Homo-oligomer: A and B are copies of this chain.
């Protein structure tokens, strides 16, 4: 059931569980949530507490309450984002969304943080282009990423990305015909700071973090990326028989 005195309000725990149940397709037969009184009994809480949870889901656009009728489920799908040797954002989502958009928030040339330098095999102090992006599908923000590219070779990355809205296209203009993903690390944290705002999350929401290194076909690292996905909108899939 739900846990009291955990530092997480009951209404938020219930909202999280209902969001999960919806994504899981538990109410697909009717397309409606069970009545508030039923949910209150099931979770062992007051009806008002369930209403707080429902209000949060309505705020997220997941459900819509209709007086006299019940509460309708508006949206349930979680996008599938494949991770493989050839991970690319727009292609990855494929036909799961009509309108896939990349937006650049910021680009700057600066000294690479030590973690980035190490991952890219660069000497400490090397300059890199840092680029902050947000990716959306059907106007819903899906992920936020921080990319690093060696400045010597990709100094124009920011300008070109801003025009093409695609890392793949920008690489092509800069002479990299193709590239592959060398490694990906995946972890999960609570959303914080700018990510809450840019991904339109509520505090306490979960973020899937991937840290990846891409190389050109000769094996030279050309990109370090840290991408934060809204965990309630996307699942990552790894195909290991490619």
Q: Identify the A interface with B (CB < 8 A).
A: 3, 6-9, 11-13, 15-17, 20, 56, 78, 80, 83-85, 87, 180-190, 192, 196, 202-204, 206-208, 231, 235-242
Establish whether residues A208 and B237, one from each chain, have CB atoms under 8 Å apart when the complex forms. no
A16 and B190 in contact, given A6-B202, A237-B183 (Cβ under 8 angstroms): yes
* A187 to B78 CA separation, bound complex (whole angstroms): 10
Determine how close the nearest CB of chain B comes to the CB of A143; give it in whole angstroms: 13
Residues in B with CB closer than 8 Å to A56 are 7
* A11 to B8 CA separation, bound complex (whole angstroms): 10
Establish whether residues A183 and B8, one from each chain, have CB atoms under 8 Å apart when the complex forms. no
Given contacts A16-B190, A190-B206, 13 further A-B contacts (CB under 8 A): A3-B203, A7-B12, A7-B204, A8-B204, A17-B190, A20-B192, A181-B240, A182-B240, A183-B239, A184-B238, A186-B186, A186-B235, A188-B188
Closest to A190 in B: B16
Establish whether residues A240 and B184, one from each chain, have CB atoms under 8 Å apart when the complex forms. yes
Establish whether residues B236 and A187, one from each chain, have CB atoms under 8 Å apart when the complex forms. yes
Establish whether residues A236 and B185, one from each chain, have CB atoms under 8 Å apart when the complex forms. yes
A13 and B203 in contact, given A3-B196, A183-B240 (Cβ under 8 angstroms): yes
Establish whether residues B7 and A7, one from each chain, have CB atoms under 8 Å apart when the complex forms. no
Q: List 11 A-B contacts (CB under 8 A).
A: A7-B9, A7-B15, A8-B8, A20-B192, A87-B240, A181-B240, A183-B237, A185-B235, A188-B188, A188-B208, A190-B206
